């Protein structure tokens, strides 16, 4: 049973606890969902990037199989879905590409190319 962490910006992160870990941590008479819900705050305390997140338990069937668009995942009505309205992140080299394209003289072009060489 995955834990869906929803961050303040609406993005989500999924966490799956291993079945063996859950079996070892389960209290007598406790369901898997109850064990996961009890352990979620402990896992949150170990992960600083989840400090402001809230958790929701979801079923594996309600999570995307494809992970390529994780940055677009959003929780809607108990399902983790890909939100096509979320933009793709910019290319990490976009600032350099813009500097090269925007160069209007040789000195600007040289500066842009120097930053390219020093970035390696």
Closest CA to 78 of 99, 60, 101: 60
Longest dimension (CA), the chain: 74
Residue bearing tokens 């090269």: 100
- Tell me the Ramachandran region of residue 64: left when phi exceeds 0, alpha when psi lies from -120 to 50, beta otherwise: beta
Distance CA 77, CA 62 (A): 10
Q: For the segment 54-80, what is each residue's pLDDT rounded down to a tens digit?
A: 999 999 999 999 998 999 999 999 999
Low-confidence ranges of the chain (pLDDT < 70): 119-120
State the pLDDT at residue 114. Answer: 87
∠ CA(58), CA(63), CA(64), 5° rounding? 170
| pTM score | 0.72
Closest CA to 25 of 10, 15, 12, 40: 40
């Amino acid at each position: 049973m995955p834990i869906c962490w929803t961050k303040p910006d609406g993005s989500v992160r999924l966490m799956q606890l291993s079945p063996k870990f859950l079996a070892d941590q389960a209290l007598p008479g406790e369901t898997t969902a109850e064990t996961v819900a009890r352990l979620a705050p402990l896992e949150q305390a170990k992960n600083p990037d989840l400090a402001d997140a809230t958790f929701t338990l979801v079923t594996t069937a309600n999570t995307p199989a494809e992970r390529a668009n994780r940055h677009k995942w959003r929780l809607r009505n108990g399902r983790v879905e890909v939100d096509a309205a979320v933009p793709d992140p910019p290319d990490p080299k976009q600032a350099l590409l813009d500097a090269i394209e925007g160069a209007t003289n040789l000195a600007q072009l040289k500066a842009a190319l120097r930053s390219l060489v020093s970035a390696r």
